[in-house]
């Protein structure tokens, strides 16, 4: 009996002991709850936003884009662009080192770029897959210990911003590593180094250099939104990403934390697929007419969708470009179903005996964007109200919808989001850089848009470029291939002990975070 009693006491003590080891945020430790797992620390393989948000604390870049879109120096103190726009020469700050103590020179920067491009490594991350494809990266050459030249194949006014996304590391350490080692044990150049990584569970970083106000950053992987919210309200994490709209009020009422809602840069739109194949489909023929597309802009009440389904007062888009860089003379389309019906009548698509004008299929993926399924159903209802017979086809995102999107074979109506930026209107516009570009999912080929890219390349001043951009945006606004929706809001739960401001571009950088 006595032995049993001792066992009970020991068990209770054990549990009590365990109770004191909660994963609490503390004075020198910042805890972030992420929704998606971290899959790699290989700088050239990072592709997801969550993964990039962690890795950016381990690796520095040549320059940094701030939350407001301004460009500031990071490793590079100076940038000189050649007259033909094909060579970018960066001056590297001297005295910088990697986490193993190796001096970081121009040779290391050149190595970081060239290694990412090496086909033998078959990297598929953001650097080789997006940055290099977008700028036409040729190679990188160290001109001296402090000067590195990046060569690109064609003049590109936004190359400097894209090159600022490449993670820099040291040559000697990475030459010795296998690809597997590089993916799990990074030797970085940034202000934090990797302490430990438990896949699917947590990542621990510790500070080794400035900037940064916390000695440790812990990222916990918490896939379920309500669990993330509970951890935040319990004080176990300081910041959570992707707060579900229906939990905003609960968090705000908790007293321990609050939700920061920001209008993001991701452009959400309903695309009109104008390809000849889709023109032969029901409804595909109707949307070939720009008047029909314009009519449908009036049919959807975007502010109502935002307030009712996203719990956020969004601003309706006026085009493909984020607000600070948009054509300011263009007002958002108002919700005016009567006008939509008049325009559809005038375009020759009157209501038939059954009350419908034409049938059209509306395809979308499920679970990728904020409340996407309900947004699609709401848009379909609005279109039905003006006489369209909408057949919604909402499918699994990753393995069904994405392949269709990538083959530009989705529609005639489809719902999609596209990541944007504040630092240049051209970044947003390059989704439609060429009529046959992989991101022109609509097959739109209006020469009033696509022919102007040569004018932009030839323009001599920012003012001249701005005039051309505004003209292009007007064409896009009036006759474009997107039904303008909204910029997706982002919701971050933030502990009241923390002083940190969310950025609109989904980048969760913690360097400036401090305790209140």
Contact residues: other proteins, CB under 8 A:
11, 14-15, 17-19, 21-23, 37, 39-40, 42, 45, 119, 122, 124, 126, 129-130, 133-134, 179-180, 183-184, 198-202, 220-224, 226-227, 230-231, 233-234, 236, 397-400, 402-403, 405-407, 437-439
Closest contact distance (angstroms) between CB of 252 and other proteins is 15
Q: How far apart are CA 391 and CA 281, in angstroms?
A: 13
3-state helix, strand, coil in the chain (%, to 5): 35, 25, 40
Closest residue by Cα to residue 299 from 269, 347, 340: 340
- 97 DSSP assignment: B
3-class SS string, 221-266: ECCCHHHHHHHHHCCCCCEECCCCHHHHHHHHHCCCEEEEEEEEEE
Which residues, 6 or more positions from 52, have their beta carbon under 8 angstroms from its beta carbon? 46, 126, 507
Distance between CA atoms of residues 40 and 185, nearest Å: 9
Minimum separation from the CB atom of position 58 to other proteins (A): 17
Instruction: Output the smallest distance, CB 182 to other proteins, in A.
Output: 8
Q: Which is nearer to other proteins, 191 or 236 (CB)?
A: 236
State the minimum distance, in angstroms, from the CB of residue 453 to other proteins.
15
CA-closest candidate to residue 377, choices 352, 402, 342, 413: 413
Handedness of CA 451, 456, 459, 461 (dihedral sign): positive
CB of 460 to other proteins, least distance (A): 27
The residue (of 153 and 512) whose beta carbon lies closer to other proteins is 153
Nearest approach, Cβ of 312 to other proteins (angstroms)? 24
Cis (ω within 30 of 0) for the bond into 221? no
Residue 445 CB, nearest approach to other proteins (Å): 18
- Residue 39 or 151: the one with the smaller Cβ distance to other proteins is 39
Task: Compute the least distance from the CB of residue 397 to other proteins, in Å.
Answer: 8
**DSSP string over 24-92:** --BTTEEEEEESS------TTT--SHHHHHHHTTTSB-SEEE-TTS-EEESSEEEEEE-TTS-EEEEEE
CB of 344 to other proteins, least distance (A): 32
> How many whole angstroms separate alpha carbon 243 and alpha carbon 381?
27
Comparing CA positions, the residue from 407, 377, 424 lying closest to residue 270 is 377
Residue number with CB closer to other proteins (279 or 435): 435
Give min distance, CB of 177 to other proteins, in A: 12
Tokens of 199: 């896949």
Shortest distance in whole angstroms from residue 129 CB to other proteins: 3
Closer to other proteins by Cβ: residue 178 or 461: 178
Structure tokens at 96: 């910088």
Nearest approach in angstroms of CB 22 to other proteins is 6
Neighbouring C-beta atoms of residue 100, cutoff 10 Å:
11
State which residue, 39 or 206, has the beta carbon closest to other proteins: 39
Burial class, 37, CB count within 10 angstroms (exposed 0-12 / middle 13-18 / buried 19+) = middle
Residue written as token pair 């209107």: 425
Nearer to other proteins among residue 31 and residue 390 (C-beta): 31
Shortest CB 175 distance to other proteins, Å: 18
Q: For other proteins, give the closer residue by CB, 324 or 438.
A: 438
* Beta bridge partners of residue 149, listed in sequence order: 89, 141
* Lookup: tokens for 377: 């159903």
Per-residue CA distances from 278 to 79, 283, 347, 360, 495 (Å): 46, 8, 19, 10, 49
Could you tell me how far CA 398 lies from the centroid of its own chain? 17
Question: Which tokens sit at 112?
Answer: 């970081």
């Amino acid at each position: 009996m006595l032995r049993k009693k001792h066992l009970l006491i020991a068990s209770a003590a054990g549990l009590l002991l365990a109770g004191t080891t909660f994963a609490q945020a503390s004075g020198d430790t910042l805890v972030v709850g992420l929704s998606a797992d971290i899959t790699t620390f290989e700088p050239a393989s990072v592709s997801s936003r969550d993964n990039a948000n962690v890795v950016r604390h381990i690796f520095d870049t040549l320059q940094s884009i701030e939350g407001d879109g301004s460009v500031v120096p990071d490793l590079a103190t100076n940038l000189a662009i050649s007259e033909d726009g094909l060579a970018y020469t960066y001056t590297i700050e001297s005295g910088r080192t990697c986490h193993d103590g190796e001096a970081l020179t121009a040779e290391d920067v050149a190595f970081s770029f060239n290694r990412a491009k090496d086909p033998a490594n078959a990297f598929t991350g953001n650097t080789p897959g997006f940055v290099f494809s977008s700028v036409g990266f040729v190679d990188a050459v160290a001109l001296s210990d402090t000067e590195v030249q990046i060569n690109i194949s064609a003049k590109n006014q936004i190359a400097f911003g894209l090159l600022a996304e490449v993670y820099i590391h040291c040559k000697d350490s990475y030459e010795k590593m296998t690809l597997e080692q590089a993916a799990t044990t990074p030797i970085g150049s940034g202000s934090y180094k990797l302490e430990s990584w438990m896949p699917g569970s947590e990542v621990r970083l510790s500070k080794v250099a400035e900037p940064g106000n916390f000695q440790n950053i812990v990222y916990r992987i918490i896939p379920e939104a309500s669990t993330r919210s509970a951890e935040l309200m319990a004080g176990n994490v300081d910041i959570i990403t992707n707060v579900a709209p229906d939990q905003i009020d609960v968090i705000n009422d908790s007293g321990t934390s609050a939700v920061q809602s920001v209008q993001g840069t991701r452009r959400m739109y309903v695309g009109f697929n104008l390809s000849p194949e889709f023109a032969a489909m029901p409804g595909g023929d109707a949307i070939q007419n720009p008047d029909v597309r314009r009519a449908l802009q009036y049919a959807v009440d975007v502010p109502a969708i935002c307030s009712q389904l996203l719990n956020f007062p969004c601003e309706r888009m006026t085009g493909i470009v984020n607000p600070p860089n948009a054509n300011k003379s263009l007002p958002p389309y108002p919700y005016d179903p009567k006008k939509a019906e008049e325009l559809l009548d005038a375009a020759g698509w009157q209501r038939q005996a059954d009350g419908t004008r034409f049938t059209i299929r509306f395809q979308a993926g499920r679970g990728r964007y904020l409340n996407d399924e309900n947004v699609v159903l709401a848009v379909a209802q609005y279109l039905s109200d003006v006489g369209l017979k909408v057949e919604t086809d909402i499918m699994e995102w990753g393995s069904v919808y994405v392949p269709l999107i990538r083959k530009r074979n989705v529609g005639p109506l489809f719902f999609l989001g596209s990541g944007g930026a504040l630092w240049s209107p051209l970044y947003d516009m390059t989704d439609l850089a060429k009529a046959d570009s992989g991101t022109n999912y609509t097959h739109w080929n209006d020469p009033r848009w696509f022919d102007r890219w040569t004018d932009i390349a030839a323009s001599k001043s920012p003012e001249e470029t701005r005039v051309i951009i505004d003209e292009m945006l007007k064409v896009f606004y009036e006759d474009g291939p997107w039904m303008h929706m909204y910029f997706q809001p982002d919701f971050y739960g933030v502990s009241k002990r923390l002083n940190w401001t969310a950025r609109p571009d989904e980048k969760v950088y913690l360097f400036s975070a401090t305790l209140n």
